[in-house]
Structure 1
Amino acid sequence: MEIIFDQALAAKRRERAVRQSGPGAAFLLDVAARELAERLSVVERHFDAAAELHGGTGIAARLALETGKVGTVNRIETDATFAAAGEPITTAPLDDVPLAPASVNLVLSPLSLHLVNDTPGMLVRIRRALKPDGLFLAAIPGAGTLAELRDVLLTAEAELTGGASPRVIPFADVRNVGALLQRAGFALPVVDVESYIVRYDSLFPLMRDLRAMGMANPLVGRRRAPVSRTLFLRAAELYAGRYSDPDGRIRATFSIIYASGWAPHESQQQPLKPGSAKVRLADALKVGSSDEN
């Protein structure tokens, strides 16, 4: 297994972010949590026991409970720092799923799978933790996320030093996520992607937000030498020239992959023959149909 992310550093930065961040810093997690809750709300099932894997603020767990579709949620995080006052929490590394086999009906993964070194293994462990016909719902930053920032940092560093080091982590392609769900043994996998454009006055507020979200660079292969302010000034200049609107504000893209899959069960619709019609999203999520007018 290739080690891409420094797990200890990623966990430390996430923990520091939750301690220091002010209101609004977790806006991206809020958006993803609301989307997961909306998708959960249309499933014609009740999930007695659920788990939230490394959900940061815990908003995905709270909104899932508010749908009325979930009995209890076991929050799993890297540190007790993430727990609200008096809230029970299970601690485990980002690569771990500390759940007994077939112990929960629902697993939520809001914006943390992109930091896992062994994604196929992680998905297998999640599927094993689900009871037969249990549901997995995830929000995963995907390809295209922070593409503008990646571009200007690479260009600026190449101009100033003649080389470049990775400063924005790699993000998964939506097709690869679907293939990984199938490989992990999930039934009826469904994946789609939503892109969100966030505007900033300049590159520097964007980078402050990324630090506040615990999304600073955790790559093992990152350059360890201190970064000069000259690099960021040049990157900010390139950003304003390439990705600004008429009012002068810059655009930052966040592409979120929403994925779902079920633990196999004999009652589920069986795979169709190659070339035949694909499963509808409503069928995969087990949404009740209404009579047409």
Structure 2
Amino acid sequence: MTQTSTTHPQLFDRTALDLHRARAKRDALFLHDMARDEVEDRLTLVNRSFTRPAIVSGFGEIWENFSPNATIVPDSEVLDLEPGAHDLVIHAMGLHWANDPVGQLIQCRRALSEDGLLLVIMLGGRTLHELRSALAEAETRVMGGLSPRIVPMGEVRDLGGLLQRAGFSLPVADVVPLTVEYRDIVHLIHDLRHMGETNALAQRLKRPCPRQFFVEAEAQYRCHFATENNRLPATFELVCLTGWSPSDKQQQPLRPGSAKMRLAEALKVPETKLPD
């Protein structure tokens, strides 16, 4: 494959991300286990049997027993998926690390056969908002400025719009919130390191921070967010996106004004006119 140069700056350092993931510990990947459970639950609600699934994941071992027919590929910038070969594509816990998320979704759509399902699960906008706030306040106080420390993550409305931009039909986006409590900020950071989810931003600060920075971050975290039992809560927001590859067999919305019956008539209630 011939590599082409990109004209836009890369938000994430994929080499750093790969190194972080290589150091991850299986017993710390509870978010990925939760994501898999969520995917399995949602698929039971779909009145469809999928025989040619593909799974895009940075931790493919978690999905090895998902389906005997599943194709598992890494969430690299160019997905190793054959066009039109799959009736289901699951993009698991990696889209928040994509330099080109719309491009990733378009590649998934091209890998789907007609009327195939895409199911994305990823971290959303409120993830680690407590840590983000504490670190920003501490860095301003101790170091006199700000540097990128936590991945900017999309809000659910914006992420749902990405499905439409990528050409999917019947897009749906919703949120599964989760709060985990930690004894201190060091415990939280160690957990993130063991998940492979530490800072891989291309413009991250690459020199060590003074000890006072972490002392101040701990103080800010406790001041604004500590629970009654003096634990530190950390929010993880799982966003689930679903969309279908276009097909003439799918239900289509009625054109405005094409209804054959008034709403009041259908509900068998008197029609009320609004004042002018």
What TM-score, normalized by structure 1, do the two folds share? Answer: 0.82
| Residue number among 76, 92, 98 corresponding to 1:116 in the alignment | 98
Give the C-alpha shift of residue 248 in structure 1.
0.7
Query: How far apart, in 2, do the equivalents of 1:225 and 1:273 lie?
Result: 58
When residues 249 and 126 of structure 1 are mapped into structure 2, their CA distance, relative to the original with a 3 A threshold, is same
Give the C-alpha shift of residue 60 in structure 1.
4.3
Moved over 2 A (4+): 57-62, 271-277
Query: How far apart, in 2, do the equivalents of 1:42 and 1:128 lie?
Result: 24
Aligned to 2:5: none
Query: How far apart, in 2, do the equivalents of 1:205 and 1:274 lie?
Result: 55
Give the C-alpha shift of residue 246 in structure 1.
0.9
Equivalences for residues 103-252 of structure 1 within 5 A: 103-252=85-234
- Asked if 1:75 corresponds to 2:75, the answer is no
Query: How far apart, in 2, do the equivalents of 1:228 and 1:38 lie?
Result: 45
Give the C-alpha shift of residue 226 in structure 1.
1.2
When residues 272 and 220 of structure 1 are mapped into structure 2, their CA distance, relative to the original with a 3 A threshold, is farther
When residues 274 and 61 of structure 1 are mapped into structure 2, their CA distance, relative to the original with a 3 A threshold, is farther
Unaligned 5+ runs, structure 2: 1-7, 260-276
**2:33 aligns to what SS in structure 1?**
helix
Q: Note the alpha carbon deviations across 1:175-221, whole angstroms, 9 max, x for none.
A: 11111101111111111012111001111111111000101100011
**1:72 aligns to what SS in structure 2?**
coil
Aligned residues: 252
Query: How far apart, in 2, do the equivalents of 1:53 and 1:42 lie?
Result: 21
Aligned to 1:283: none
Asked if the contact 2:93/2:123 (under 8 Å) is kept, the reply is yes
Aligned to 1:58: 61
Asked if the contact 1:94/1:115 (under 8 Å) is kept, the reply is no
- Asked if 1:31 corresponds to 2:40, the answer is no
- Asked if 1:16 corresponds to 2:12, the answer is no
Query: How far apart, in 2, do the equivalents of 1:132 and 1:105 lie?
Result: 8
Query: How far apart, in 2, do the equivalents of 1:257 and 1:152 lie?
Result: 23
Query: How far apart, in 2, do the equivalents of 1:213 and 1:261 lie?
Result: 28
Q: Note the alpha carbon deviations across 1:50-81, whole angstroms, 9 max, x for none.
A: 1110151533453x43xxxxx5111112xxxx
When residues 61 and 47 of structure 1 are mapped into structure 2, their CA distance, relative to the original with a 3 A threshold, is farther
Aligned to 2:4: none
RMSD: 1.9
When residues 161 and 274 of structure 1 are mapped into structure 2, their CA distance, relative to the original with a 3 A threshold, is farther
Give the C-alpha shift of residue 274 in structure 1.
6.5
**Kindly, what percent of the aligned residue pairs are identical?**
39
Aligned to 1:285: none
When residues 276 and 204 of structure 1 are mapped into structure 2, their CA distance, relative to the original with a 3 A threshold, is farther
Query: How far apart, in 1, do the equivalents of 2:160 and 2:38 lie?
Result: 18
Asked if the contact 2:60/2:73 (under 8 Å) is kept, the reply is no
Query: How far apart, in 2, do the equivalents of 1:211 and 1:166 lie?
Result: 17
Query: How far apart, in 2, do the equivalents of 1:262 and 1:28 lie?
Result: 25
- Asked if 1:253 corresponds to 2:230, the answer is no
When residues 29 and 276 of structure 1 are mapped into structure 2, their CA distance, relative to the original with a 3 A threshold, is farther
Q: Note the alpha carbon deviations across 1:108-137, whole angstroms, 9 max, x for none.
A: 111100000011111111100001111111
Give the C-alpha shift of residue 94 in structure 1.
2.2
**1:254 aligns to what SS in structure 2?**
strand
What TM-score, normalized by structure 2, do the two folds share? Answer: 0.86
Please identify the structure whose Cα radius of gyration is greater. 2
Unaligned 5+ runs, structure 1: 66-70, 78-92, 278-293
Query: How far apart, in 1, do the equivalents of 2:232 and 2:204 lie?
Result: 25
Query: How far apart, in 2, do the equivalents of 1:200 and 1:49 lie?
Result: 40
